[in-house]
Amino acid sequence: MEDSESTITDDIFSLGVGGLQPERQLLPRSELLARVTALMQSCEGCESVSVVDVTPLDRPDNAGCNWSYTLVLDAAGVLPEVYGLAYAQVIGMARSSWNLE
């Protein structure tokens, strides 16, 4: 019997259907930061958290995203236990939707 866990090849954050990655919208850095900030701030307890920067990649990763999973945040006093949950919810969706111009 085949081990199903050993055969998974999709990006765990992929929202694509049939193994295809969704097309990403190209955004200037300021717009990407504004959109990811809005997503973070929509999460309970993170209304004052801002995304200050993202790290561009030299070339798109295997999922097709051209910026890192690492976000630079201004936590504005929000505890890591709170913004960490929001981060986990936001990062996959954001990376599968938007690329840096």
Extents of the domains making up the chain: 24-76+92-101
The pLDDT of residue 42 is 97
The pLDDT of residue 99 is 98
In the chain, the percentage of residues whose pLDDT exceeds 70 is 78
> Which residue pairs, CB below 8 angstroms and at least 24 apart, start in 85-92?
85/43, 86/40, 86/43, 86/44, 86/45, 86/46, 86/49, 87/40, 89/43, 90/36, 90/39, 90/40, 90/43, 91/13, 92/12, 92/13
Which parts of the chain sit beneath pLDDT 70? 1-22
Tokens linked to 74: 């201004």
